[in-house]
Chains A and B, each alone.
Chain A
Amino acid sequence: MTFLQPWAAWFLAGLPVIVALYFLRLKRRSLSVSTHLFWQRVLGENSRRAFFQRLRQWLSLLLHVLIFSILVAALARPLLRQAVHSGASTVIVLDVRARMQAVEPDGRQRLDKALDHARALVRQAGESRQFALITLDAAPAVAVPFSTDQKPLLDALDAIRPTDTAGELPAALRLADSLLKSRGGDGQIVLLSDRTPDDPALIAPAIATPRDNLAITRFATRPLPADPATSAALIELQNFGTTPARTELELTLDGRTLDVKPFALQPGERRLEILPGLTRPTRAAQGWLTARITADDALASDNIAYATLPPARLNRVLLITAGNSFLEKLLAVDPSVKFQLIAPEAWQPALAEKFEAVIFDSTLPAGFDFAQAEGNFLFLKRTPFSTTRQLDHPLVTGIDPAHPATRGVSLQNVSIVRATALTPPASGGWLSASPLRSFDDALLITGTRGTRRFAALGFDLLESDLPLRVAFPLLISNTLHWLAGDTASALPAAQAGEIIPLTGSQRAASEPLTSAPSGPLPAPADARFLQPMKNGFYAVSENGGTRWIAVNTFSAAESDLRVPATSVRASAPSIFATGPLPPWQWLTLVAFALFTFEWWLFHRRKTE
């Protein structure tokens, strides 16, 4: 026997009060009589049965104490260990992935049906039946741990909203298993999903029927290398139905229709389409690119896809070099760069303000004070951060693929004759990184402080074969764009449910936009990461500017609504069977019966 509310035992301190009240004299009504003669005879007759009289008094006290004790015991909510161990511990795994938004022929969403099942289940929660709730979206999570109380379970179910995420069902089942193993007694898992694995241990009410669906499964843009002002879009359509489907694809940019294209797909067919010639918008525009197919199918969320088209930007770059043909040619052919070349002697600190980036190639002007200099700098070979440690033929052992400067850069087998180990500035409040390393030595360091940025490369380009590698223009372009504050490529399109880390200066809105906002943008949340659960455009604000992240589901598994019929099993009747009353209710009934008995005894004057 265990007690769920053992604190109720404190009420037993009231027992002496009951006993004291019992022994207090009754305030009797005074009544004048002519004689006690006959009353005494009658009471004398009673006193001959004094033993039974005392027994009646004690019986009354006993009944009162018993009733009080039983009520206290009921308040403590006792639970038989047998009930605890043998009672059903049920884990409800509720699928809230994107596919659960599919509409069934009866017009209801699969998620709504699943929620109805879940509510019916948790209303059976009690001392002998405990429920835990696991939700599955991008990752399984315990929404409510094992509880015998219906309220938190129902509240959690009421708070559940559909998501556009894809997720792994086995992970949710493993979590449910581990939850069950933490409990004794019988356990069972109820899976409320439209598609369940063929596991006889699972209880899975049927909530879905096979449905046809046409979906956009991929949508991305990239600038054309030949013309940075123009981008191309890649779009993939897939027919998950059993019949041929015809649709029209409408492409809009910031609400303006760019193109409408018809498609006809056979059952199961996947179609890739590249849409070139998308003019990049100006900086004032949002760059929202939306693809929408006109399909009246079961799942609407995959009929629309979002992508961003970064505004075109022409960065002004000042190159200070004694001569570097590789670099000069590279900057000359980069359409996003407008550069100016000056000799080291011509350097004036005031020049930096006129350029988004300044490149010091193998030179550092005399008297250059980095701490005081304004502007964004790229130092090549000679840097303010060079140490005396020389590296001969250093091997590139570490590249940070997430860093904006080295994203997409492959420096495998790059030969470097010599390099100087770099040390990030220890003072000045710089936020430094070393995205390119040779073992413990930094070959490339970057730093940001407010709007100021710098990058320093610890070797001479001409003393390496890097200029001959494909990575060279990418590394220089990435670095210049990053120095210029152009981080359009730093926040790529994301999948719903994906965790996107934010830097300290970045703030992201927690709710997406799918159409141009008429008022102010949603207030950004103060969080270190963003996990978008719905598709759309998420605003990320940084340094007074706003950029957009396009979030999509893009999961064939979520869009494929053809549920194998064999995987759906009827629910076990035992889980829905009405169980016996919990002990506290039995105790309350017993107390009520005893109270009625005592009341009857009192009015029959069997007790006093």
Chain B
Amino acid sequence: MSAEAPSLFDSAFLAKIEQLHLLARRLFRGERRAERRSRAHGSSLEFADHREYTPGDELRSIDWSAFGRLDRLFVKLFEHEQDLPVSFLVDASSSMRWQPQGARRITKLDQSRKLTAALAYIALANLDALNIHFLADGLLSELGVARGKAHFHSVLEFLSSPPAPGRRTDLLAGIRTFTQRVKRRGLVIVISDFFDPSGFEEPLAMLRHCQFETHVLHVLDAAELTPVETGDLRLVECETGAGLDVTSTEALLRRYRAEIATFNDSLQSFCVQRGIGHARVTTDMAFENVVLRVLRGGVMLK
């Protein structure tokens, strides 16, 4: 665990996660169950259907009661219980580590990791098959499939050790690798600022195309939404180190704010149109509120 772990995932954080878990169970009792059933017939205790006996079926699966009533051999079919694959794709590019000069807020990556930890705890508690990936200009590292709350420690350890900084954002490359590597379809939660010069449409469309149930957590810093710096500036992009000379004025800032609002709206409408869950998060928001909002949106609790 890195040096920043105590401040990011301290005991207060863990207590909040536990409270969130209990709160979630109470809020969604009766309409949501912790276990997921697949339509595939399996060996659980839940009866699903009958079918006629065919040679080779196990004799213990024959419904002898039905044979007594109908004089025909039927095999009892039981529902197959399976865990839900939940994957978190956490953007760990340099833009996610950016912080406005002089600000004392957490970074977008910190907020993402907190959200991931909280949602991961809930997923583990629901016995989902949890995996976490860091991505930037590709798929960087993964936690590995984990089930049960016992693995939460490893989750925290993984989240506390993000990849080294200095990487650009290339969502398409990361998601393409993800879809190629992960064959089992499930829930994918993409946590990113989506500041990808190549655009966000193709990566998200790819996830949908591969039949992943996709949710987007759009993480932004408040300073990105409403910058206030005016004057003759040299804007240095944290990912590339490239400079851009700007004479910032109120008029220019207005146009900037309109531009980023358009971007946000386009991301949201893109998600809505394609059935992708969407939530926008800023670094100054309390993460527990964000988690509840995400859960209310139906993520993981189905």
Interface residues, chain A, with chain B CB atoms under 8 Å away:
26-43, 45-46, 605, 608
Contact = CB atoms under 8 A, between A and B. Distances in A.
A28 B245 contact: yes
Interface in B75-107: 95, 98, 101
A592 B160 CA distance: 63
A34 B193 contact: yes
B238 A39 contact: no
Given A34-B193, A36-B240, 12 more contacts: A28-B232, A31-B229, A31-B233, A32-B98, A32-B236, A33-B238, A34-B224, A35-B195, A37-B195, A37-B263, A40-B244, A42-B259
B32 interface: no
B231 A29 contact: yes
B236 A31 contact: yes
Among A28, A30, A35, A38, max chain B CB count under 10 A is at A35
Interface of B: 95, 98, 101, 108, 193, 195, 197, 221, 224, 229, 231-240, 242-247, 249, 251-252, 255-256, 259-260, 263
Nearest to A605: B249
Contacts of B224: 34
B235 A26 contact: no
B242 A38 contact: no
Among B197, B240, B243, B259, max chain A CB count under 10 A is at B259
A38 B238 contact: no
Contacts of B263: 37-38
B197 A29 contact: no
Contacts, number: 76
Contact of B259 (A32, A33, A41): A41
B228 to A, nearest CB: 11
Contacts of B237: 33-36
B236 A30 contact: yes
Nearest to B241: A32
Contacts of B108: 34
B98 A33 contact: yes
A25 to B, nearest CB: 9
Pairs of residues from A and B, 3 with the lowest C-beta to C-beta distance, nearest first: A34-B98, A605-B249, A28-B234
A43 to B, nearest CB: 7
A29 B255 contact: no
Given A28-B233, A39-B246, A34 B101 contact: no
Nearest to B220: A34
A46 B255 CA distance: 10
Contact of B256 (A27, A30, A38, A605): A38
B110 to A, nearest CB: 14
Contact of B235 (A33, A46, A608): A33
Given A36-B244, A42-B256, A30 B234 contact: yes
Nearest to B261: A38
B95 A34 contact: yes
A46 B248 CA distance: 12
Contacts of B101: 31-32
A43 B236 contact: no
A229 to B, nearest CB: 104
A37 B235 CA distance: 11
Among B98, B229, B239, B255, max chain A CB count under 10 A is at B255
Contacts of B234: 28-31
A37 B267 CA distance: 15
B251 A29 contact: no
A608 B247 contact: yes
Nearest to A35: B195
Contact of A35 (B95, B232, B247): B95
B239 to A, nearest CB: 7
A31 B228 CA distance: 12
B235 A39 contact: yes
Nearest to A608: B247
Contact of A39 (B239, B240, B249, B256): B256
28 contacts: A27-B232, A28-B232, A28-B233, A28-B245, A29-B233, A30-B243, A31-B233, A31-B235, A32-B235, A32-B236, A33-B98, A33-B237, A33-B238, A34-B195, A34-B221, A34-B237, A34-B238, A35-B193, A35-B237, A35-B239, A36-B235, A37-B195, A37-B263, A39-B235, A43-B246, A45-B255, A605-B247, A605-B249
Contacts of A34: 95, 98, 108, 193, 195, 221, 224, 237-239
Contacts of A42: 252, 255-256, 259
B96 to A, nearest CB: 8
Contacts of A41: 259
A303 to B, nearest CB: 83
A352 B95 CA distance: 127
A35 B95 CA distance: 7
B256 to A, nearest CB: 5
A26 B232 contact: yes
Contacts of A40: 244
A39 B95 CA distance: 15
Contacts of A31: 101, 229, 233-236
Contacts of B238: 32-34
B232 A29 contact: yes
Contact of A605 (B98, B195, B251): B251
